[in-house]
Structures are given as C-alpha cells and as structure tokens.
Amino acid sequence: MLEVQNLYTYYDDFKVLNDVSISIESGNFVSIIGPNGHGKSTLLKTICGLLRPKSGIIRFNDKIISNLPAHLLVDIGIVYVAEKRHLFPEMTVFENLQLGAYSSHSRKMEKENLNYVFDLFPKLKIRKKQLASNLSGGEARMLAIGRGLMSSAKFLAIDEPSLGLAPNLRVEVFNKINEINKNGITILLVEQTITEAAKYIDKVYLLEDGSITFEGTTEDALSNNHIKKAFLGL
Amino acid sequence: MRYPIIILRKHFWDCKLYKVKGYFCKMLRQFLEVLVSGITLGSIYAVLALGLTIVYGVSKIFNLAYGSFFTWSAYLAWILTGGHFKLNYLIVIPLMIPILFFIGIGMDRVLIYPLRKRADWQTTTIFLTLGLALFLDTLAQIVFGPRVKSLPSIFPGSIEIHSFTISKNTIGIFCLSILLVILIELFLSKNRIGMAMRAVSQDQEGARIVGIPLDRLFSYAFGFSIVLVGVTSVFVSSFYNISPSGGWNPFIKAFVVVAFGGLGSTKGALYSAFILGILEAMVAWLIGGVWIMPFWFIVLLILLIVRPYGLIGKWG
C-alpha cells in the first residue's frame, strides 16, 4: 500500500533522514521505534506531505505521492496525527471534528465518520460542546485521532500517542488504535520503544540516526540483541 | 493638562443656566446621542478591525496598505456614484464587492505568493505592503489630485424623533455596520471557509494536517479583508471627505483596535471596537475631539500593562 524508497529529508542543510526505505501492506499495523531526535517524526511528516523530501520516492497504491502537498494527500486518505496534537484550542470538540472533514472527499462521509468516531470514543460525544483547550491529555489524544478519522483516513500515521499519558490510558489508547486497525485502516505508529501495543503489531522498524537499522516482526525485535540492549536495558 | 479642566468647567457652567430638570433632560439626551454615535463608530471600527485581524490571524502579517485600499475604494465609489457614472448605491455596493474581492486575491497571488517560499517572508511582506501603501497613495494623488472629494449620502434626508433630528445616513450606516458584523461572525462560525480561517489562525500546522490548503486560504483572507475595508470606506466616506492619504487614520485606528483586542483574535477585535468607539464619542463630547488619540493611547497602554497580549490575545 505504502512504499518508501531511498528517502532523504533535510532541515535546511542538516540531513535528518538518510536513505530510508520501508514498505507497508494494506491493513497492516506497523510500528517505527527509535530514540528521540533520530528522525521518526520527520519520516512521518515527509510521508504525509508536511515536509518535502530532498530525494527518494514515496508510493501510495502504486501512485507516486512524494511531491504532492499535504491537502491533496489528506484527500486520498493519508492522515497524520501529530505528537503535539495540533488541535484548534479555541474551538469546540465538535468543531475540531468538523474541520477534520474539511477535504472535499471526506465531506460526503462526514455523518458516518462522526458516528464512527463517537462510537469509538464515547467521551468525545459527552464533551462535544467543550473547547479543545479544556480537554485532559488523554481526551485531547482521542480527539486528535478522532479528527484524523474524520478525514476518511485509509492510512493513519500516529506520532507517539502514548507520550505523557498515565499507564492505564496508554493501554486504552493502544486498544483503540488496534480497534481502528481492525476496521481496515492501515496504521503506522511511531513510539520510542516497543510498548503495550507490541501484541497487535505486524512489523517493526528501528530508526537510528536517520537510517533503518532493523526490520522484522515483534518476536524478532524482542529477541534481537541490539534492540534488547538499546531499549529494554537487558 | 489645564485645557480639559477648563473645558469641563465651562461646560458645567453653561449647563447651570438651565433649570435643574431641563439640565438633566439635556444631559441625558446628549448622553444617549453620544452613546448611539459611539456604538455607530464602534461598529465601523469593528468591521475595519475584523478585516485587518483576519489577515493577521491567517498569515501573521500586517497589511500596511490597508489604509490605501480604504482610500482607493472610496475613489472607486466616487467614480461610480458621482464622478463619472451616476449610479445608485444599490448598484454600486454589490458591484464593488466582487471587484474588491478579486483585487485582494490578485494582490496575494501577484505580490505576496512569490515571497512566501522564502524563509523570512513575513517581514519582507510587511515591508512590501508599506511600499505598496506609499505607491498607491501617491498614485491616488496623481490620478485624482490633492483636492478632497465627497460621496453623496447613502440614505439622504433626516428624521425627527421627539425634538432632536438625526440624519438617516447615521441610522442607516449604523444598521448596515451592525448587520455586517453579524454576517462576519456567522461566516466565521458557520461557514466552512470561515471556520478554516479560524483554524489556521489557531494552529497553522494543525490546519495543514486536516488538509486545509494554506495558499488558497491566504488568498481568500486577503480578498475578504479588502472587501471589508472597501465597504466600510464607502460607509465612512458618505460622512467625511476623501483625500489621497485619508486612509491612514482609519488604518491606524483599526490597528489600535486590533492590538487592544489581542492580535489575531476576532472576538477581541469586536469587543475592543465597541469599547474604543464609545470611548471616542465620550471623549469628543466631554473634552474635545483632539483628545481622542491621546486617550486611546493611554487606554491601550494601561491595557497592555495589565494584559500584555491584549483583551483576548495569545501569542503565536
């Protein structure tokens, strides 16, 4: 479904992504792990059109998308859920969700998507009329994911959803993401380590210093000595 | 500082000549008149400030040529109503709205869009608009000459309520401005593009994430802003004369209103427009017209000491 080949991304002159290649099958739940500041978010943003790659090719359903602007990518269903959430603080939860359905493609599906999001996150329905800035950390996270779903996402790139959440909320968020994945939406999840989500994940990539240094299933990752040493402290 | 005190005393002395009951009646009536004119001013400032703050909110730049568009819209209306064609306002205003909208979009496409690819485009653009303002003002002077022009009243005649008369123009402009403010608020809260404008001003990255095309929205914001300043300019110019650099005063006032309300905040602009409009009318009544800007300045300073980001402002 999504194929990234030899991707290089720079911030001005500073190379962040160095020859990254990944491939994701339709309906998969794929995770990219790696330490802070090694280019995970940059990779997601490049895929979603928020950053321009210097070179390399990104294909989505065999179409080359590496030079399309973000709003056209949202139109074909590639949606980014940011680590810093980037909600609209002075708008209500409902207005935030409405804006999720801004693209012409998702506007037709607005009602169905809204029902789906409210079914998935009943808390959002209760807090419909509250300002996004008044939500708790967990609720804001749900709203960010819900807003992504409102865009009729086929491919959801979620950036560190567990950041700053209490352990029980982390489990809840990962369960919800798994539920979304079971509904047929391909997920690319970025986390710093292998997390509670491990049991749902089909494939793990390790991104270090802008390059992919490991690729395999969760079991492979858990038995890999390098990963054990770097992340699990074993 | 002696000047205002003397005026106040003189005023008080004048009033003492009336009988006590008549005096209160007169003061009350004057107060109501001043309040109405303050609200009228407030609604005009509100539309002007909304036009300025929408562009700031969306693109984080100030359009320093805002006042020049005010001037040029007034001249355009002058050509259409009095200068060359003797058209009715009912035709002129609907005709001007699309023209102004496309002028705004054209300005964004031709002048600002090419700059936007550069890293430091905001500063460059602000200076570009300053240059544009000087160019347009000078051009107005060359084309229309330095002598002032005036527009016919939109609503000619006057009506009499009890014993005092009000021109129909005042009442009409008041109603139209309030209507315009309500329409803008509806546009920003209900319309998809209006909501997107608010979204961009609250979180630009968030707006890109949900798929709002920023470039197109910048153009819309500019078009919208020029329409607002142009229409207000026609309203104002049906009272006051048009001169080649006459746009600076309304621009500076709109700027103060925006800074008072909080940069980029539409709600703040709305509240502060009415606060400052009523303040202006009160100052003009009690102390004298020359003291309007000093008072605005003092009130702005005090507010910025208490709330550094303006009435309802946030940075970024």
Does B211 contact A102 at a Cβ distance shorter than 8 Å?
yes
pLDDT tens digits along B203-262: 989 999 999 999 999 999 999 999 999 999 999 998 888 999 889 999 999 999 999 998
> Which residue from A minimizes the CA distance to B312?
A90
The domains located in chain B, with CATH, are 8-306 (1.10.3470)
Partner-chain residue, chosen from B195, B209, B212, that has the shortest CB–CB distance to A82: B209
Domain that holds residue A113: 85-153
CB of B63 closer than 8 Å to CB of B52 = yes
The span from the CA of B208 to the CA of B200, in Å, is: 8
CATH of residue A2: 3.40.50.300
Judge if ipTM > 0.85: yes
What is residue A131's three-state secondary structure? strand
Q: Which two tokens stand for residue A113?
A: 């998507």
CB of A145 closer than 8 Å to CB of A161 = yes
Does A50 contact B196 at a Cβ distance shorter than 8 Å?
no
- Domain end: A107, A124, A153, which one? A153
The span from the CA of A88 to the CA of B201, in Å, is: 9
Q: Is residue A171 domain-shared with residue A231, that is, in the same domain?
A: yes
Going across the sheet that includes A55-60, the strands are A14-24, A2-11, A55-60, A63-64
Buried b or exposed e, range A130-161, using 16+ CB within 10 angstroms: ebbeebeebbbbbbbbbbbbbbbbbbbbbbbb
Lowest mean pLDDT among A18-32, B49-63, B83-97: B83-97
Domain count, chain A: 2
Extract the runs of DSSP E, i.e. beta strands, from chain B.
158-161, 164-167
When pLDDT is averaged across residues A24-46 and rounded to a whole number, the result is 90
When pLDDT is averaged across residues A203-230 and rounded to a whole number, the result is 84
pLDDT tens digits along B137-163: 999 999 999 888 888 888 888 888 766
Nearby residues of B16 by Cβ (< 8 Å), 6 or more positions away: B23
At B313 the pLDDT is: 72
Q: Is residue A165 domain-shared with residue A232, that is, in the same domain?
A: yes
Q: How far is CA A49 from CA A83, A137, B68, in A?
A: 16, 26, 38
Extract the runs of DSSP E, i.e. beta strands, from chain A.
2-11, 14-24, 29-33, 55-60, 63-64, 78-81, 155-159, 186-191, 203-208, 211-216
Could you tell me which of A74, A41, A39 has the C-alpha nearest to residue A158?
A41
The span from the CA of A179 to the CA of A53, in Å, is: 32
Q: Is A110 on the interface with B (CB under 8 A)?
A: no
Residue to test with chain B: of A79, A102, A108, most B Cβ within 10 A = A102
Does B209 contact A71 at a Cβ distance shorter than 8 Å?
no
Partner-chain residue, chosen from A75, A86, A106, that has the shortest CB–CB distance to B209: A86
Chain A CB contacts of B213 under 8 Å are 69, 71
Nearby residues of B119 by Cβ (< 8 Å), 6 or more positions away: none
When pLDDT is averaged across residues B77-104 and rounded to a whole number, the result is 89
Could you tell me which of A178, A212, A179, A214 has the C-alpha nearest to residue A198?
A178
Smallest CA–CA distance, residue A75 to chain B, in Å, is 7
- Phi, psi dihedrals of residue A20, rounded to the nearest 5°: -95, 130
Q: Which two tokens stand for residue B94?
A: 């609907």
Residue B90 confidence (pLDDT) above 70: yes
Q: Is residue A161 domain-shared with residue A219, that is, in the same domain?
A: yes
Nearby residues of A85 by Cβ (< 8 Å), 6 or more positions away: A140, A141, A143, A144, B206
Q: Is residue A61 domain-shared with residue A164, that is, in the same domain?
A: yes
> Which residue from B minimizes the CA distance to A101?
B210
At B229 the pLDDT is: 95
Burial-class residue B173 by CB neighbours within 10 Å (0-12, 13-18, 19+). buried
Q: Are strands A55-60 and A63-64 parallel, antiparallel or unpaired?
A: antiparallel
The span from the CA of A220 to the CA of A212, in Å, is: 15
Q: Is residue A2 domain-shared with residue A69, that is, in the same domain?
A: yes
- Domain end: A153, A179, A205, which one? A153
Q: Is residue A112 domain-shared with residue A68, that is, in the same domain?
A: no
Instruction: Quote the crossing angle between the two packed helices B66-78 and B20-59, to the nearest 10°.
Output: 110
- Domain end: A153, A170, A195, which one? A153
**Residue the block writes with tokens 């017209």:** B289
Does B192 contact A74 at a Cβ distance shorter than 8 Å?
no
Residue A70 confidence (pLDDT) above 80: yes
**Residue the block writes with tokens 């929205």:** B217
Q: Is residue A58 domain-shared with residue A4, that is, in the same domain?
A: yes
Q: Which two tokens stand for residue B75?
A: 């001249």
Could you tell me which of B64, B58, B204, B49 has the C-alpha nearest to residue B124?
B64
Smallest CA–CA distance, residue B257 to chain A, in Å, is 21
Does B209 contact A79 at a Cβ distance shorter than 8 Å?
yes
Partner-chain residue, chosen from A48, A88, A95, that has the shortest CB–CB distance to B206: A88
Chain A CB contacts of B113 under 8 Å are none
At B2 the pLDDT is: 39
Q: Is residue A217 domain-shared with residue A174, that is, in the same domain?
A: yes
Does A73 contact B199 at a Cβ distance shorter than 8 Å?
no
Average pLDDT, chain B: 87
Q: Is A73 on the interface with B (CB under 8 A)?
A: yes
In one letter, which amino acid is A178? N
pLDDT tens digits along A144-177: 999 999 999 999 999 998 888 888 888 889 999 9
Q: Is residue A50 domain-shared with residue A166, that is, in the same domain?
A: yes
Q: Is residue A185 domain-shared with residue A225, that is, in the same domain?
A: yes
Q: Is residue A145 domain-shared with residue A127, that is, in the same domain?
A: yes
> Which residue from B minimizes the CA distance to A151?
B210
> Which residue from B minimizes the CA distance to A80?
B209
Smallest CA–CA distance, residue B146 to chain A, in Å, is 46
Lowest mean pLDDT among A54-58, A184-188, A227-231: A227-231
Residue B314 confidence (pLDDT) above 70: no
Q: Is A48 on the interface with B (CB under 8 A)?
A: yes
Chain A CB contacts of B53 under 8 Å are none
Q: Is residue A138 domain-shared with residue A172, that is, in the same domain?
A: no
pTM over 0.90: no
Count contacts between A and B (CB, < 8 Å): 64
**Residue the block writes with tokens 């309030």:** B178
The span from the CA of B134 to the CA of B146, in Å, is: 15
Does A71 contact B198 at a Cβ distance shorter than 8 Å?
no
